[in-house]
Amino acid sequence: MNRARVLQVVAGAALMGMHTASPGAAFQTSLPLRLAGIQQPPTVAQPAPAPSSPAAPALTLENRDWRAVRIGDRMLGPKDTLSRVILMLDAPTSRASGGSGCNRFSGVYQTRGNTLTFGALAATKLTCPSGMDIESAYLQALQSVRRWRIVNGQLELLSQAGTRLVVFEAAK
């Protein structure tokens, strides 16, 4: 068999799957080349492909701002309150703070595992033209919180019975 015919056979064998190739590994056609008596070219390792996107960091309960998107059964829209309804839990001090739609609040919290409770919360006393009902519902809901969970990137604060009291998204 002449050298041109050997190369055709080797090429055909490689195309028919008689080779091994995997991402990050060298391409090899060892069996057909050895049978044809041709020395294998040096293998060149290919770098593993870069990941398509970096993994998103896992969301944690503490040390981030959470923006309320739902209080009880009410979805919050951008015009429902004068300012955003925000919750921040500071792990080193066990202090809760944030905005309740019109006023600012702060107080202590305790968490262990998936339990979460708030102590007495102090708030400023501004009167706003709208959203005071949302603010009142939010601060009352925080006092009823007993558990928390993060589901699909949203923080859910739950009552002892498991009812969703407030749902948050990580603030940007």
CATH of residue 157: 2.40.128.270
Do residue 47 and residue 71 come from a single domain?
A: no
Q: Is residue 74 part of a domain?
A: yes
Do residue 50 and residue 71 come from a single domain?
A: no
| pLDDT at 15 > cutoff 90 | no
pLDDT at position 38: 54
pLDDT at position 97: 98
The β-bridge partners of 158 are 147, 164
Our count of domains for the chain comes to 2
Instruction: List C-alpha distances in Å: 8 to 18, 19, 172.
Output: 14, 15, 59
pLDDT at position 87: 97
Q: Please, what is the end-to-end C-alpha distance for the chain in angstroms? A: 69
Q: Is residue 60 part of a domain?
A: no
Query: What DSSP state is assigned to residue 16?
Result: T
φ/ψ (deg, to 5) at 167: -120, 135
Residue range of the domain that includes 112: 65-170
Do residue 23 and residue 106 come from a single domain?
A: no
| pLDDT at 19 > cutoff 80 | no
Q: Is residue 98 part of a domain?
A: yes
Q: Is residue 103 part of a domain?
A: yes
Return left, alpha or beta for 89; rule: phi > 0 is left, psi -120 to 50 is alpha, else beta: beta
The β-bridge partners of 148 are 157
pLDDT at position 1: 53
64 vs 104: CA distance, rounded Å: 16
Do residue 38 and residue 96 come from a single domain?
A: no
